[in-house]
Homo-oligomer: A and B are copies of this chain.
Amino acid sequence: MDLDALIAGVKDGDRRALSRAITLVESGRADHRAQATALLDAVKDPDRQALRIGLSGTPGVGKSTFIERFGLMLTGQGKRVAVLAVDPSSTRSGGSILGDKTRMEQLSRDANAFIRPSPSQTELGGVARRTREVIALCEAAGFDVVIVETVGVGQSETIVAQMTDIFTLLLAPAGGDELQGVKRGIMEIADLVLVNKADGELKAQANRTCADYAGALRLLRKRDGDPEGFPKALTVSAMDGTGIETAGSEIQELARYRKETGHWDRTRAAQNRHWFNDAVRQGILRHLTRDAATRDQMDDLGAQVAEGGVAPSAAAKQVLDRLFPPGE
């Protein structure tokens, strides 16, 4: 592969080049990884910043319909939109919750939209790091908005929040105890809660659900760098389009406010540092687990520690003494 041609292609916003670059970044091969690292460093351009939006929601809340409607609104405003997905449990659909592009039929045919399925890796940490790099590629290719979709499983929301500027939670109308369906931790990171399906028979219920969440959000402390009123709960209908423009302008307003206050730049800097430290840590741990003796010792001591047979600090000392012999 001609790396220089690929770099130039991505910078020109060429879709085929971008697709090939993403495939390179997602590859697990060591030689591809080295090329990917060089590519990412070569294409980065501090002057090209997309608005990165994280979107979470359990299956059935209408994420695809919402992204289609929201994405078409943005392309209608002349913006270029990329849609990515983080889905660690996606083996069910051949490695991708977005594999079926018919989910977003109109948007996938839009020349200003780019939809990329989730890579078929099984380890969440690996998927996450690749997704962060794919976001960077989309930014370098000149996209204005990057939407990162995730389903409400495990820690994927926290990880996506670490690589996006604004985090949105999409919910369906629900009554009473059904409200318990929101996974603990997600409300904590949401900037905007959108209650979908505010149309037809569900409209009144959507309004009540929205009021419930607005009340719950008021119980949480306002975060540094946020304007009054955020995090906010709104109703939308991805089906008939109600509230989609309002959701879009609230996101733009929050982004504008954060840029003005310097919060945006500080967050991006902190995120970059986070991913740098994460990459060093992962690299060290990967090096250690490749070492069979360390791996066996960690497994063995881990089981003993779990059973209470050895104290955690004493077990750790055994590993560390073998890695870095005292007196060396």
Residues of B within 8 A of A316 (CB): 276, 279-280, 283
Nearest CB of chain B from residue A317's CB, rounded to whole Å: 5
Check: A46 CB closer than 8 A to any chain B CB: yes
With A37-B317, A269-B307, A270-B306 known to touch, is A275 a contact of B219 (CB < 8 Å)? no
Residues of B within 8 A of A37 (CB): 311, 313-314, 317
CA distance A220 to B275 in the complex (A): 30
Complex interface residues of chain A between 310 and 328 (CB less than 8 A to chain B): 310-317, 319-320, 323-324
CA distance A312 to B25 in the complex (A): 14
Check: A38 CB closer than 8 A to any chain B CB: yes
Whether A44 and B273, one on each chain, are in contact in the complex, defined by CB atoms closer than 8 angstroms, is no
Check: A115 CB closer than 8 A to any chain B CB: no
CA distance A36 to B316 in the complex (A): 13
With A280-B298, A280-B319, A302-B277 known to touch, is A219 a contact of B179 (CB < 8 Å)? yes
Binary contact readout A151-167 vs B (1 if CB under 8 angstroms, 0 otherwise):
00000000000000000
With A133-B313, A221-B181, A221-B184 known to touch, is A305 a contact of B320 (CB < 8 Å)? no
User: Which of A9-17, A101-109, A195-203, A208-216 touches B?
Assistant: A208-216
Check: A123 CB closer than 8 A to any chain B CB: no
Q: How large is the interface on A (under 10, 10 to 19, 20 to 34, 35 or more residues)?
A: 35 or more
Whether B38 and A272, one on each chain, are in contact in the complex, defined by CB atoms closer than 8 angstroms, is no
Complex: chain B residue closest to A47, CB-CB: B308
Residues of B within 8 A of A215 (CB): 212, 215-216
With A306-B269, A312-B275 known to touch, is A182 a contact of B219 (CB < 8 Å)? yes
Check: A177 CB closer than 8 A to any chain B CB: yes
Complex: chain B residue closest to A41, CB-CB: B314
Q: List 11 A-B contacts (CB under 8 A).
A: A132-B312, A133-B313, A180-B221, A180-B222, A184-B188, A187-B219, A215-B215, A273-B305, A276-B302, A279-B313, A279-B317
Which A residues contact B (CB, under 8 angstroms)? 36-38, 40-41, 44, 46, 129, 132-133, 136, 177, 179-185, 187-188, 212-213, 215-216, 218-223, 268-270, 272-273, 275-281, 283-285, 287-288, 298, 301-302, 305-317, 319-320, 323-324
